[in-house]
Structure 1
Amino acid sequence: MKAVVITRPGGPEVLEFREVPDPVAGPEDLLVRVRATALNRADLLQRMGGYPQPGLKPAFEIPGLEYAGEVVAAGERVEGFAVGDRVMGLLAGGGYAELVVTHHRLAMKVPANLSWEEAGATPEVYITAHDALLQCGLVAGERVLIHAAGSGVGVAAVQIAKELGASLVIGTAGSAEKLERARELGLDVGVNYREEDFAEAVARATGGRGVDVVLDVIGADYLERNLRALAPKGRMVVVGLMGGSSAQVNLGLLLQKRLQVRGTTLRARPLEEKALATRAFERSVLPHIESGRVKVVIDRVYALRDAAEAHAYMATNANFGKIVLVAG
């Protein structure tokens, strides 16, 4: 099969589209012909040598945390799937390829109304956003701050927070255009982080009370202001570190407000936990995607062989929604 291989740590130029051996499915696995996959920030980190695939080092390092495609073979202990089924799901790596192998418990049927591009853009960010908001215990009537509202996770989180009943969804982004597009998806208050302090904007929007939940993909640069933006007994979940991993913080805010701060990742979790997150998404969010209430937003589509170009584009932070790769 053809796949995009990371030949060495570096920039987009280290990605090589080449022939590699086909993956081999086990008795509980599906072998899937990939029709579409999508970029995630973790792919860029992995390409630069900062986020290796968990487990044993593979013979060929192929990025890609999600896929959509057709089942071409099913192991003898697989239940609920058959050859020809349209499926999508999470991967620990390997999605930038013409074939992938996945445990059947991590696969989901693709709704009939989703294109391959939409299906390939769904699993990683929508499961991440849903799982993160559930970990924060978001309930109807609460107020939420979502950073990078134009990113894949941000676009998903804005819509899922609304479906969970959030009374106020505040989002940050670096342009008026991104904030306007996010408003079309349910964002109530947009904050351009290039022009104003988001903690002060949250205080104005909430009458000084703060938000109950913060979903953060930035990390160190935002930590202190996130704590200021939280209401008493507020909860924050960190799902990304685009702004760094080390920060100084005033722990007095944590104590005074009785705050909870947690981190989460999907990639390194055990099979059982990823399967539970997949099923929770499948029950609670996928029906809304199927009905059109929750939209899968695609910014650009590239051919798989043009993954390097797609990586360079993602590094500009210009995208709103997902960047998709399609196989031949």
Structure 2
Amino acid sequence: MSASEPAVRKPKPDRPNNWGRWGEEDERGALNLINRDVVLRAGGSITSGRVYSLGIPIQAHDVPLMAYRGTPMRLTLQDSTDHGTYAPELGCHDGTGSHEDVLVMASHTTSHMDALIHVYGEYQHYNGVDHQAMQATAGATRLGIDKVGGFATRAVLLDMVAFFGEHEEWMLPGHCITANDLESAAVRQGAEIRPGDVVLVRTGYLRFWQDHRDEFAQPGIGADAARWLASKDVVAVGSDNAAVEVVPFDGGDFLGVHKILLVDHGIYLLEFLDLDGPAADGNYEGLLAVAPLKVTGATGSPVNPVFIT
């Protein structure tokens, strides 16, 4: 199938989903829930004036990385050793110069946002888009990260480390967070999950990783938690672990949570976020601004979300 040929649509899944909710050709998914009123109400959730950068460093060491994605590389393109690059006739005075870099990295390494094209199930992506919409050269012909643009909305941080109290800094590896867990944590914090929200789930994984770098298992949400979040009409779910979902995967279903959220409901995932700062300060609610790079046809993008509480 060429990029110009329309994909043959299969029947909608016989389970809860958002396919067709915003039109048969929709490529933005749950972001359609964010309108002016949602953004204005989100601004009203700012009470402390604290600003938190949730991105982790982009570097080749001391951050968790998936081995098959390689390590990010920052290469110097130009520096002071390139003296004379700018000629005097251009107005370059002695002692004037510039430094520039080249970044080489996978789109899903360090803190990043998954595009709706990232994962498919039953050979289909969100809204019935065929898995062949991803092309080797062109990239994503539909549902790419460039369709996101940028967004700002209310976010609620659920501190599951504090809720479970398993360890003072992190949840235990492989702990599957259920819908009841999330709902109970929200009640305990006095937080209401509203349509258009982003829910941030803190597991403590980034702290755990510092001392247990060879551990495969990670805490995260399971399938029923994903369905509960979808029922709340959230637009995105973020976490401090590698995949938002628990590893090993709930029920042995590879990327099962991704399929419920990304594929069935068009709900985005934000992974490897640093949630320790707002949790330590007890700031659990505020305005979240996310701006992925507009890389045409990309399956995801590095992000540095800004959380204002």
Q: Normalised by the size of structure 1, how large is the TM-score?
A: 0.28
The structure with higher relative contact order (CA 8 Å, sep 6+) is: 2
Higher-Rg member (1/2)? 2
- Identify the structure with the greater helix proportion: 1
Q: Normalised by the size of structure 2, how large is the TM-score?
A: 0.29
